[in-house]
Amino acid sequence: MKISIASGKGGTGKTTIATSLALSLRNCQFLDCDVEEPNAHIFLKPKFHTTRKVLVNVPLIDNTKCTNCGICSDACEFNALVQLPDHVIFFADLCMSCNACKILCPENAISMIKKEIGELKIGNAKENTLFVNGLLRIGSPRAIPIISAVKDCIDDSKVVILDAPPGNSCPVIETISDTDFCLLVTEPTPFGLWDLKIAVEVAKKLALPTGVIINRYGFGYEEPIEEYCKDENIPILMKIPFDRSIAEAYSEGIPLASHDTEWQKKFRDLYAKIQELVK
């Protein structure tokens, strides 16, 4: 079972819920797919035993073979290669590693070399959780290959929890694709509702079953969210009250399920509901 946790809007409580679910279920595999700003390790405190570089292919042009024909820069849809009269300039940050330049070069002047864009860290966390975390290198724009490398570690024999980044574009799609269920976390404000609607549409396009968790319940905008979920036929699986003590515990890196252990049963019930819905 692979459960992804996404939200559209940032800071609605994805990591709080993902880490609490892992602690309550035990023996899970936890994948922190927010490779731009990963935070789950702060809550699950893993001991890392392996660090692996995430490498992508980028072209290296052999100037002794290059005839400056311009085919490579012409083929590059990402403007990473620019043909000048007597040489080609390469902008590594624009390269998507598609290999088009190498394959299309008539002189075989291009070979692919490895470039590091981030790293993977693998370890063991509380409650026998297998923990994987990806880290995008500062200044690199390419989160997708890192998320993909994190997902390559999936252990199908476990319940796998994938903590997604905020937003609704490529990094989120990469994270939630091919998961069995997508939990959408929202907060009862117009911001929360607007971004939830976009997230629901993304999940629909990917044909993913979804359920909603309303965090900070009590802000005063619960009704529009509940009505929307009812209209869309999306189950509301959990409500977490707005409570300053939860926010304070969060600020110290204490997950909800440890701050108040009563929540562990609620998270196990949540998992049971998800199992029913996936059937």
Partner 1 sequence: MFKQLTVISGKGGTGKTTLTASFAYLTQGKAIFADADVDAPDLHLILHPTIISEEELYISKKAVRDEEKCVKCNKCGEVCEFNAISAYDLNHFKCEGCGLCVRICPEKALSMKPILSAKIFESQTRFGPFVHAEMTIGEGTSGRIVDQIRQKARKIAETKKLNFVIVDGSPGIGCPVIASITGVDLACIIVEPTLSGIHDLERIFGVAQHFKVKSVVCINKFDLNITNTNNIIRFCRKNNITVVGKIPFNEIVPKSIIQGKSTFELEENPVSKEIISIWKNIQTELHD
Given the rule CB under 8 A, which residues bind partner 1? 8-12, 15, 34, 36-37, 39, 42, 57, 75, 77-78, 96-100, 103-104, 136, 138-143, 165-173, 177, 189-191, 194-195, 198, 201-202, 205-206, 216, 219-221, 244, 247-248, 250-253
Beta bridge partner(s), residue 182: 4, 210
Q: Which is nearer to partner 1, 166 or 211 (CB)?
A: 166
Q: Which is nearer to partner 1, 96 or 236 (CB)?
A: 96
Residue 270 Cβ vs partner 1, minimum distance, rounded to whole Å = 22
Q: Which is nearer to partner 1, 140 or 210 (CB)?
A: 140
Residue 97 Cβ vs partner 1, minimum distance, rounded to whole Å = 6
Residue 279 Cβ vs partner 1, minimum distance, rounded to whole Å = 26
Residue 230 Cβ vs partner 1, minimum distance, rounded to whole Å = 20
- Residue recorded with tokens 């993977």: 120
Q: Which is nearer to partner 1, 10 or 70 (CB)?
A: 10
Q: Which of 183, 130, 171 is nearest to 5 (CA)?
A: 183
Residue 216 Cβ vs partner 1, minimum distance, rounded to whole Å = 8
Residue 11 Cβ vs partner 1, minimum distance, rounded to whole Å = 1
Residue 208 Cβ vs partner 1, minimum distance, rounded to whole Å = 12
Q: In angstroms, what CA-CA distances link 80 with 25, 40, 95, 119, 273?
A: 46, 34, 5, 23, 48
Cα 5 to the chain's mean position, in Å? Answer: 9
Q: Which is nearer to partner 1, 1 or 96 (CB)?
A: 96
Residue 197 Cβ vs partner 1, minimum distance, rounded to whole Å = 10
- Indicate if the alpha-carbon torsion angle 181, 187, 191, 197 is positive or negative: positive
Q: Locate 117 and state its tokens.
A: 């864009």
Phi, psi at 82, each rounded to 5°:
-125, 125
Q: Which of 121, 102, 104, 119 is nearest to 57 (CA)?
A: 102
Q: Which is nearer to partner 1, 39 or 73 (CB)?
A: 39
Q: Which is nearer to partner 1, 46 or 165 (CB)?
A: 165
Query: With contact defined as beta carbons under 8 Å apart, do 112 and 56 qualify?
Result: no
Long-range contacts of 204-210 (CB under 8 A, 24+ apart): 206/173, 206/176, 206/177, 208/4, 208/176, 208/179, 208/181, 208/182, 209/180, 209/181, 209/182, 209/277, 209/278, 210/181, 210/182, 210/183, 210/184, 210/234
Phi, psi at 27, each rounded to 5°:
55, 30
Q: Which is nearer to partner 1, 80 or 159 (CB)?
A: 80
Q: Which helix (H) or strand (E) holds 216?
A: strand 210-217
